[in-house]
Chain A
Amino acid sequence: MNTVVLTISKQPELYLETENITPDVFAGKSAEEIAALNVYEGNLTHTLGEYFTVAGGAGDTAADTRIEVKGDLTRVKWIGAKMTTGEVVIEGDSDMYTGAFMEGGKLLAKGNVGHFAGLGMKGGDLHVTGNAGNYLGAAYRGDWRGMMSGVLRVDGNAGSDIGTFMRGGEIIVGGDVDVHVGTHQEGGKIVVKGNGKSKIGGQMVKGDIYIFGSIDVMMPGFAYRENVDLEVDGVKATFEHYIGDLGERHGKSKGETIYGHLYKKL
């Protein structure tokens, strides 16, 4: 696997949009060609080379390309967006849309990411070692198909609205989350190892939510069923099992109504 190392050399006055920083775009390009790719600041188009030093070179294919992005990236949006394969490693904090609409490959963010990380994710492996903002793995505005597949892991805390309209895949948050977890969820699995707040599983149709810590206020549409012993993300424990949201529509399979499942660790 060939590695391209990008180091930010100049901070933008506003913010940079760098959806070109993906293995898919870099594949088969030399350092010079990569430096000539476009980045955007407001209504101006610049080259990547104006803001980053580029070292190394890409592999022949995207799958054979690894990108390391270094420096203060807190004003850089869209790193690794729409990537389908290969690897991206972000050394530091990045801004909005990190790994948004990602379809495959591996993205490791060693730091915090801004809002909308993993937005509308379709596949791949997104791992954030720091905190994430709001709308982690949520659907893009107006889309009823949120995260479809893949694994989105955040070691720290996440904001509100995680996994909105989620239909598949897995979101694991190591720390605490803000309000609205799995709103409109229709599949997939959300694990929160810290505390939740309220509005968890509202309008949920299908899928699973696991909360290890506290829940401030339970949604009224969740009914307690029983205690169950489960192993969730390597942790064996007893969970209270709730079904819901009883205010929402639910389909049937083999004569049984399919509900969303909320598990709260005892």
Chain B
Amino acid sequence: MTKLVTDVVCPFCGTLCDDLEVVLSDDGKKIVDVNNACAIGAMKFLHSQAEDRLTRPRMRQEDGSWKEASYDEAIEYTAQMLAKAKKPLMYGWSSTNCEAQGVGSEVGELVGAQMDNTATVCHGSTLIAVQDVGVPGCTLGEVKNRADVVVFWGCNPAHAHPRHMSRYSIFPRGFFTAKGHRGRTVVVVDPRPTDTASIANLHLQVEQGRDYELLSALRVAIRGNPLPDVVAGIPKETIIEVAEKMKNARFGVIFFGMGVTHSLSKNHNIDIAIQVTRDLNEYTKFAIMPMRGHYNVTGSGQVWGWQFGYPFCVDLSRGIARYNPGESSSNDLLVRGEVDAVFVLGSDPGAHFPFNSVKKMNDLPCVVVDPHITPSTVVADLHVPVAFVGVEVGGCAYRMDNVPIETHKVVDAPDGMLTDEEFLEGVLKRVKELKGV
């Protein structure tokens, strides 16, 4: 008979759903089905069962072909590369657990690395804004139980965080939100008519790149000051209507995503959105939350926050932690030629970085630690497949609202495979030997 594992945590997006059920084969070794998950989350579990999955590291040969290597050889190569580099980039750290991030930080400190996570092309601009002006936040539980006005600004959870709306933000009935979605006013601000916008009470089709102006106009409207007739393609009557809706909320929340963090104005969009939230707290309770992408990108910010004092773009080259996105951010480092080796774990920069950066990864010594074959492994000199975190090994992850959730192991990894943490422990031990510490 098949076995049902309940309360499984989904290691896909920052929503970190913790109500999944996984159906195992009779012997408990294979995942047969996944209940409650979204299509993407279910595939993450089922992917790990692929018959043609890589189970051993592979090293690039002179002629460009791959040759299988042992984990010991992989550890030796990685340790040598990092120890020899003047300024290695250690990037990724988002699709792994906090335990692995902790060991990776120790390696980074020893080799004077540039530590950067996927926030650098995601919510890094949010982190900059939070540092500039602070952040009035809340947990997703509060949103579920209290929020009656929900704003999605430059994000599309219907596709990027598929269960966010049903678990927390629009549909669920909570303690003070017994009417579910009928009791909530949903506002979507997006230049495109998205699937999320289609279920909104109000969709503001802002002009591309004019979010900063529109947010500024909201602040002007909240203060009751005069506005121009049209701002960012939105008539002033609509802006005033939205400002009034927000002011009259019992509990409101702004969720935002890549549409504002990586369009014109970047961190300034978030900065001013935070100030809108702060202004609204003169009238009611309002909070703001980034829609974090990778399931534990928030955790890597937390780990580095307590280790180094900065959540991303940490420059350890001079023996102290320094930080300045624009200089110590991965793409600036790669494109400007500031680094001489690249280590990737828990992310796929090959798919997400600009072509110029990926070309540099191809030219430099490059190690990629990833269970999958990805565009990043295509430019790597060494590819180390590892166990799936959240499927084959547990560990701590932080949800997008900074709540830590312990993920669970569901099945064993294929025989002899290492986890991220075990591989990094091996690298750390060898780097210590090479550096004589």
Contacts and interface: CB of A to CB of B under 8 A. Distances in A.
A42 B327 contact: no
Interface stretch (A48-56, A81-89, A244-252): A244-252
A43 B225 contact: no
Contact of A246 (B210, B225, B318): B225
Contacts of B319: 43
Interface stretch (A105-113, A122-130, A134-142, A150-158): A134-142
Contacts of A15: 336, 338
B326 A221 contact: no
Interface in B267-299: 268, 271-272, 275
B131 A142 contact: yes
Q: Is the interface of B mostly helix, strand, loop or mixed?
A: loop
B242 to A, nearest CB: 14
Interface residues of B, number: 42
Contacts of B183: none
Nearest to B313: A141
B212 A202 contact: yes
Given A96-B327, A116-B326, A142-B131, A43 B220 contact: no
B213 interface: yes
Nearest to A219: B216
A202 B266 CA distance: 14
A42 B324 contact: no
Given A40-B318, A43-B317, A203-B272, A141 B227 contact: no
A142 B336 CA distance: 24
B44 interface: no
A15 B339 CA distance: 9
Nearest to B276: A247
Contact of A14 (B86, B131, B218): B86
B265 interface: yes
B226 interface: yes
B162 interface: no
B132 A142 contact: yes
A8 B146 CA distance: 63
Contact of A199 (B111, B268, B338, B340): B268
A199 B323 contact: no
Contacts of B132: 141-142, 144, 165, 184
B231 interface: yes
Nearest to B210: A217
B340 A14 contact: yes
B227 A180 contact: no
Interface in A78-108: 96
Contacts of B327: 96, 115-116
B436 interface: no
Contact of A248 (B219, B227, B324): B219
Contacts of B212: 199, 202
Interface string A25-47: 00000000000000011111000
Interface in B173-231: 210, 212-213, 216-220, 222-223, 225-228, 231
B128 interface: yes
Interface residues of A, number: 37
B339 to A, nearest CB: 7
A217 B212 CA distance: 11
A183 B317 CA distance: 31
Given A14-B87, A44-B86, A141-B323, A220 B216 contact: yes
A141 B112 CA distance: 22
A13 B336 CA distance: 12
B264 interface: yes
Interface string B353-366: 00000000000000
B137 interface: no
A179 interface: yes
A198 B214 CA distance: 13
Nearest to B332: A115
Given A42-B86, A43-B317, A220-B231, A246 B220 contact: yes
Nearest to B324: A141
A236 to B, nearest CB: 30
Nearest to A218: B228
A215 interface: no
Contact of B265 (A141, A142, A179, A221): A179
B325 interface: yes
A42 B268 contact: no
Contacts of A134: 326
Contact of A43 (B111, B131, B338): B111
Q: Which 6 A-B pairs have the closest CB atoms?
A: A247-B219, A43-B112, A42-B87, A42-B86, A142-B131, A246-B225
23 contacts: A14-B87, A14-B339, A15-B338, A40-B318, A43-B319, A141-B131, A141-B325, A180-B268, A199-B265, A199-B268, A202-B212, A203-B216, A203-B272, A217-B213, A220-B227, A220-B231, A221-B219, A246-B220, A246-B225, A246-B226, A247-B216, A247-B217, A248-B275
